[in-house]
Amino acid sequence: MLLIIYLSAPVATTKIYSADKIFTGENWLNNHAIIVSGNRIETIVPVSSLTSAQHIEQFDNCIIAPAFIDLQIYGAYGKLLAVYPEVDSLYKLKEYCEKGGAAFCLPTVATNTKEVFYKSIDAVKEYWSKGGEGILGLHLEGPWINPAKRGAHIEALIHPPTIQETEELLNYGIGVIRMITLAPEVCSKEILDLILSHHIIISAGHSNATYAEAKTGFSNGITAVTHLYNAMSPLQHRQPGLVGAAMDDATVMASIIPDGHHVDYAAIRIAKQVMKERLFVITDAVTETTKGHYQHQPVGDKYEADNILSGSALTMAKAVQNLVNFGAIGLGEALRMCSLYPARVLGSKELGKIDTGYNARMVVLDDQMEVKQLL
């Protein structure tokens, strides 16, 4: 006798969340609930439309907002990815991000050797193969930057790219490398076209580009600028530089580090007034290490390497608090700078909002803007 067994697909778990306020990424809602099915948002409804039989997880004196996205972070809990290019470093980095309300991130490797870049790519592949979530890929910051604006980057490892080097790196990192920071004045259009053919985001940074060179780079496919003001040609009245070009462009987006050390809050307010929705937050967070090329040491609430500012101790939640408390930026806009706008940089249509069909990762913040829970 032939026995036929029909296997039904697993039923997605439905959950319902509500809080005093919900920030969708666009609007504030009161007396509403978010219905989640599996890992997707099914709908948002008035609480009054729910029945008494439906269980609501209620967060009093809190807001629910889209989970944060950090597009530049180097390591956590003593495991700098460039020093320990292995899966455990990514798990620690993910834990650090989640404590700060970021469910998604791009681990970043600064100017380094070919071997370190390749091992970091391998680590992400292994992390994914083990079912790891939240790591969206890699951000390579350098080595194709300008030594004149190297900051804490290792000068001996900085160089212009060749076609062969670029092809080998991009082919090895297919599907893993999501963003590359480079100096437009040291990279040809041919190099930019090659990177773009792999659907990788190009960000201008650690650059001494003139205004004209930067604008040419934007015309050639550069869509972002890495940590505005830091390690780049400044805005001057006769030489607007990369800062001026970024502010003057209609579409290019720029990251900024609101820790009170990398950029004065007045400079953040000025950039925000000019760039509006084109300015987004990164933590640029590092971790203490005494090995490798970047020996970051904590100095107060920042990190230095060889007495040079080398990274922050930020979390995304702390960035929100700083923007609101010291940057005179409204809470809704601060939240967008940490979620919706980074999602736009990625070109994502499923992150950065609380809306039907979007990813269901959300952050619950209390009235002090501290993370209460990451859903």
pLDDT of 208 > 60? The answer is yes
Tell me the whole-structure pTM to 2 decimals.
0.95
Residues contacting residue 104 through CB under 8 Å, at least 6 positions apart: 67, 68, 69, 70, 97, 134, 136, 351, 361
Q: Is the pLDDT of residue 3 over 70?
A: no
Residue 6's contacts (CB-CB under 8 Å, 6 or more residues apart) are none
| C-alpha distances in Å from residue 368, one per residue of 22, 269, 309 | 15, 22, 29
- Find the catalytic residue in 248, 284, 301, 366: 284
Tens digits of residue pLDDT in 252-289: 999 999 999 999 999 999 999 999 999 999 999 999 98
Query: How high is the pLDDT of residue 6?
Result: 45
> Residue 2: its pLDDT value, please?
47
On the question of pLDDT at 49 being above 90, the answer is yes
Higher-confidence residue of 307 and 127: namely 127
Q: Which domains does the chain have, with CATH numbers?
A: 14-66+357-374 (2.30.40.10), 68-346 (3.20.20.140)
Q: For 224, list phi and psi in degrees, rounded to 5.
A: -145, 165
pLDDT at 12 over 90: no
Q: Please compute the mean of the pLDDT values over residues 247-253 and round it to a whole number.
A: 98
Residue 295 confidence (pLDDT): 85
Distance CA 270, CA 253 (A): 15
Instruction: List, for residues 216-226, the tens digit of each pLDDT value.
Output: 999 999 999 99
Q: Are 181 and 206 in contact (CB under 8 A)?
A: yes
8 pLDDT exceeds 60? no
Q: Is 284 part of the annotated catalytic residue set?
A: yes
Give CA separation, 275 vs 223, 253, 255, in Å: 14, 8, 11
**Contact (CB, 8 A) for 34 and 64:** yes
pLDDT at 102: 98
Give the max Cα distance, the chain: 88
Per-residue pLDDT band for 10 (boundaries 50, 70, 90) equals low
Give the DSSP letter of residue 205. Answer: -
Average pLDDT score, the chain: 95
3-state secondary structure of 177: strand
